[in-house]
Amino acid sequence: MKIKNVRLKEEGQFVILTAECKIRHVGIDQVYFKFEKKYQDFIVADASPFAAALLIPSMKMGQDLVIEGSISRELQDGMKEIIEKTASWNLGLKPIAILASEVRPDTLSQTDKNASFFSGGVDSFYTYLKHKERSDKIDYLILANGFDISLDNPGLWDQTCETVDDIASSEGIEVIKVESNIRGLIEPVLIWDYTHGGCLAALGLSLRSGLKNVYIPSSLAIGQLLPWGTHPELDARWSTEKISFHHDGADTKRVDKVRFIAQNPLALKHLRVCYINAKDKFNCGVCDKCLRTMTNLCITGKLSEAETFPRNIDLELIKTLSVCNKQKAILHEENLEELKKLGIEKELQAHLRDMLKDFYAPKFDSRKTIKKACYYFMEGLNQIMLIDFFYNQSRLHKMKMFLQKKLQKISEYYSRIFKERNAR
């Protein structure tokens, strides 16, 4: 892959850091990071952010990362260590060379400001609240459009901005909002699960004249770790002479994070874990992530106080869930273990136990089979999309997005039908 022509331009009330990037075999893509103009002095207009975002995708393609421009010397050293670590993850990531036309150390930081990535979810709320009363308190929340919130979902973005602005106003801190198209360009190469760490680092690297430390909230606890885009062995290696990245919260399991943040009324008022935004709800209350978080809140005795979720867990919806990857299994196992310790929600325990048993020792179930068939169908489409992406300028991509939305509606429809049948 190749990066060239990095520049910073103004567009109305925004400044845009952009570069021409050779990602696919046909054509050049314009990758951008768009910020409010008031943060212009924070931005360093070099190739470091683009290098971080494209490192893992370049490894997946087995292509050297060629950079016509300058990057931080410490970042280059860190990326070499990331290459060595991730090449052993059995993801088909190949060792590559980083070929930059200029490598130079950043000037030392003149600021002591700290920031954290913030989506309004469990991990980001935990990191913010944990640091709130400490000397390393967080001054800025970084909220990204185009990452967990799709650029095609402006309703959810507006709703999330309103919520996070409310949180920041209550706490007397600022929100740095950024928009980027990077996810849509690299996800056909390798899924977001493994590439989002470099893209988060790219945002911090863009802003490194105004920030000294950036916290990356952990997804899993030590002892649960899997190959993942954000990881305690990777995150600090995105640092430069000017800015330091910190993987935060891996010493705490998710259920304990929820137990901690549930003591804070602001978190109970604004917690957002769902990216579906079904029927314009902040949390749909029916997807795997919503139901897992509702179970967390049930364990802490705070579900009835969480304003953005249904007040009760629908056990019929739990029956319709299926676990499709190890990370989800780990988090459901954590919930089951806590429920057993407390001796509560016996029926919920039974459903979770059955679901996990089906993951580790699958048995035939028509409803779950349909859901898994949809999942694997989409995985097959992903391979077709890869060819489309590299050679066909993504002309089939819109068709894929259309099918995903249709399959989501079908899944919701059958879940509702099964629920109505069981209620009779």
pLDDT tens profile 358-382: 888 766 566 666 766 776 776 676 6
Q: Has residue 391 got a pLDDT over 90?
A: no
Q: What is the mean pLDDT of residues 136-159?
A: 93
The pLDDT assigned to 152 comes to 84
**Stronger pLDDT, 144 or 327, i.e. the higher one:** 144
The pLDDT assigned to 280 comes to 60
**Mean pLDDT, all residues of the chain:** 90
Cβ 132 vs Cβ 158: under 8 Å: no
**68: helix, strand or coil:** strand
Q: Has residue 133 got a pLDDT over 70?
A: yes
- For residues 265 and 55, what is the distance between their CA atoms, to the nearest angstrom? 40
H helices present in 172-208, as ranges? 182-186, 192-206
165 pairs with which residues across the strands?
none
The pLDDT assigned to 363 comes to 65
19 pairs with which residues across the strands?
31
> Sheet harboring 29-36: ordered strands across?
98-104, 65-72, 2-11, 14-22, 29-36, 174-180, 140-145, 114-117, 213-217, 244-248
301 pairs with which residues across the strands?
none
Which residue, among 416, 368, 373, 408, has the nearest Cα to 150 in the 3D structure?
408
The pLDDT assigned to 125 comes to 98
Q: What is the mean pLDDT of residues 315-322?
A: 87
Q: Residue 399 is encoded by which pair of tokens?
A: 């068709």
- Taking the alpha carbons at both ends of the chain, their separation in whole angstroms is 58
- For residues 315 and 163, what is the distance between their CA atoms, to the nearest angstrom? 29
Q: Has residue 277 got a pLDDT over 80?
A: no
Among 84-93, 104-113, 206-215, 396-405, the minimum mean pLDDT is found in 396-405
Q: What is the mean pLDDT of residues 354-359?
A: 88
The pLDDT assigned to 153 comes to 85
Which residue, among 139, 147, 104, has the nearest Cα to 213 in the 3D structure?
139
Q: What is the mean pLDDT of residues 60-69?
A: 97
Confidence bin at 387 (pLDDT 50/70/90) = low
Cα–Cα distances in angstroms (integers) from residue 10 to residues 13, 35, 38, 146, 182, in the given order: 8, 10, 11, 20, 19
pTM for the full predicted model: 0.86
Among 96-105, 165-174, 328-337, 401-410, the minimum mean pLDDT is found in 401-410
The pLDDT assigned to 406 comes to 77
The pLDDT assigned to 350 comes to 95
Q: Residue 207 is encoded by which pair of tokens?
A: 């802003």
